[in-house]
Structure 1
Amino acid sequence: MALWKDWRFILGVAAAYVLLYVTFLDKDIFWYIYTAATLFFISISIISEPIDDQQNTNRFMLYGILSGVVLYALFAAGYALLKLMPVSAEGHVSSIYALFSPVFIWHYIVLVLIIIPGEELFFRGFIQKRLGRYMNKWAAMVTAALFYASVFVFSGEWLWMMAALCGGLFWGSLYIWRKSIPMLIISHLIFDLLFVVFLPLA
């Protein structure tokens, strides 16, 4: 079957753009709509593809924690370099934190229990895996990462798109390496906790 005939993939891609567009329309509804959007992502992912888990619990926890720390360190180093360049990264980072960081306790709950697992299930466990049926695994990974970055165009923040691209390439490569969605969820969780809660860059 050709990619353009894969109606679940087409539906998933189209829905992601529509839902992320609505999500970023108003910062006051961001957490409500993104939570609802991610629940849709989880649903279509679970219905369409089995959840890959080719690592035992101890191993995916270890790799997940270590990779999350490594990605945060790379982002921190990249941010330090950006501050030395003519582009104004500090303002963009501060704006992203101010507009979209968790504020209420329920924000943290849905971030940990819904949004982080949902993004990995959808963008790696569904989009990247589905693309792997129609192209080689590395091309599928890069394409999925580009898609992951592109849906954040509606945020209006180019730096968010670049961050999503870097994250997509990193987690997509981990997915190829270990084929473990739980490992990716732990990695994403550790990264977000460091990036958003414990050691924000701005």
Structure 2
Amino acid sequence: MNNKNYKYLTFTLFAAAILWYLMFVIKPFNFWIEMSVSILLLILMAYFANRDIFSLGKVKIRYILIGVVSAIALYGIFYAGNIISGYLFPFKDAQISSVYSNKSNANLALIGLLLFFIIGPGEELYWRGFIQNTLGKKFGENKGYLFSVLLYAAVHIVTGNFMLVIAALVCGLFWGWLYKKEKSLIPVIISHAVWDLTIFVLLPLM
């Protein structure tokens, strides 16, 4: 990664932080529409730097199974984490509720469609397909993975929601590892999409 590409990657990260701040703090309009538009903007910026970002390869049954099973596993981690964190952080319920309160801005069908087809897949294209992949080429696979995890969590700091930052850290570790292991975005995209749909629409934790 040359210096020009590094500066561009940094620019997109600043853009992501601003977009996350607008979404979670300012909330100028519908949260789910804003998140979808924000993700699409980040993908577009990533595409300008890497035209191969949409070259996902062949969809294999194995990838589908890994995606679904890993989503279930991650949901289990969050289910247990929700219980444990209740004993550790007295503010847990209030902060998680503030995220779920955004569901009142749209009907569940629309939220589910946006999560499954735009938000989940889009986040993986940007964070793993662009950020982790680019950093991996610069610093090596393992360091690129760790740096991308930290950046993914760091962007959520602007929300002022500690539980959301922890959630991003866990998700970043999980999906980043899955991408590093499988060398394909397909199972990670499926995992993220299924997990999003489950934890926000089908089986919310609150």
Shared fold (TM-score, shorter chain, > 0.5): yes
1:99 CA displacement: 3.1
Q: Contact 1:101–1:196 (CA<8 Å) still a contact in 2?
A: no
2:34 counterpart residue number:
33
Residue 121 of structure 1 pairs with residue 125 of structure 2 = yes
Whole-angstrom CA distance in 1 between matches of 2:5 and 2:129: 19
Query: Which of 190, 194, 201 is residue 197 of structure 1 equivalent to?
Result: 201
1:103 counterpart residue number:
106
Whole-angstrom CA distance in 1 between matches of 2:6 and 2:101: 39
Q: Contact 2:117–2:193 (CA<8 Å) still a contact in 1?
A: no
Whole-angstrom CA distance in 1 between matches of 2:193 and 2:105: 14
2:85 counterpart residue number:
82
Whole-angstrom CA distance in 1 between matches of 2:91 and 2:131: 33
Whole-angstrom CA distance in 1 between matches of 2:87 and 2:132: 34
Whole-angstrom CA distance in 2 between matches of 1:71 and 1:179: 19
2:60 counterpart residue number:
57
2:142 counterpart residue number:
138
2:154 counterpart residue number:
150
**Structure whose residues are more often helix by fraction:** 2
1:4 CA displacement: 6.4
Q: Contact 1:117–1:185 (CA<8 Å) still a contact in 2?
A: yes
1:152 CA displacement: 1.8
Whole-angstrom CA distance in 1 between matches of 2:86 and 2:126: 33
2:21 counterpart residue number:
21
TM-score normalized by the length of structure 1? 0.89
1:179 counterpart residue number:
183
TM-score normalized by the length of structure 2? 0.87
2:94 counterpart residue number:
91
Structure 1: runs of 5 or more not aligned: none
Say how many residue pairs are matched: 202
Whole-angstrom CA distance in 1 between matches of 2:89 and 2:27: 30
Whole-angstrom CA distance in 2 between matches of 1:11 and 1:154: 16
1:101 CA displacement: 6.5
Say what the alpha-carbon RMSD is for the aligned residues: 2.2
1:58 CA displacement: 0.3
Q: Deviations over 1:134-163 (max 9, x none)?
A: 212121111111111122223221101110
